[in-house]
Structure 1
Amino acid sequence: MKKLIKKYKEIILYIFFGMLTTIVNFVIYFIMNALLGEDMYLVSNVIAWIGAVAFAYVTNKIWVFESKSRESKTLLREIGEFVSARLLSLGIEETGLYIFVDLLKFSTFSFSFLRLTITGDVIAKVIMQVIVVTLNYIFSKFIIFKK
């Protein structure tokens, strides 16, 4: 079992911190939606993205990819590449949300489960999060924190 954990440690940590990042993203998204209104879902998503990216950079650098570099040149490169990759995935997520919510009218869908109502924009966000998390791992592993 220890061999298996050691072999897949990076992926396990990425999934763990990715789940925490997703929670950070959703909490901020729900708070902003409550404050700004549901019609401002794209703005809420951008604000949630900023908080999640800051959290993800720190956790990815320190615990997932164990980047030890503290040189300002390397830090600036990592941060620049990290933010650039996340901007690309944000664009993909925003486009996907727009397609699902506005074009495919997911906003008209909702269902209740154990007193919890799940709306179409949340379903769309979950779908897009799966896509974005996968892309972000690829960017981080092979470009940003490559060893």
Structure 2
Amino acid sequence: MMWDENWFDQNSNNDEQHQESPFNFDFLSLIAKPKDYYRILEVDYDATEDSIRSNYIRLALKWHPDKQKGEDGSTSKFQEINEAYQVLSDPIKRQEYDMKGMMTYDYNVIDYLNRYKGLILTCNGLGMKHSIW
């Protein structure tokens, strides 16, 4: 895939056109490491339903937005706790998460790019316009 080197120069002066471009999206949300529901609920990977439920109740009471009125992140933390409990409390969803989720969720794009950034920067610095892969 070749990049059009003049694209940015042509569109940098026109802010409206730049905002509507397909490159204007939240890149970090795409490469962020997915959530580890076990870590969110502070339980082991082989936790029983009772321990998952008891930790959920403890954390839900601790992070409930009504109790944390001054905290900005309490609502998002409470939502994460609920999301984790919805998956881990249902045996079918938990099994799917354990089978698919943990294998694919360990892959982190940032780690991959950091590992090969020297090669990527070298190839870009040499003016290589074609992919080496």
TM-score, with structure 2 as normaliser: 0.30
More helix by share: 1
More strand by share: 1
TM-score, with structure 1 as normaliser: 0.28
Structure of higher CA gyration radius: 2
Q: Which has the higher relative contact order, 1 or 2, with Cα contacts under 8 A spaced 6 or more apart?
A: 2
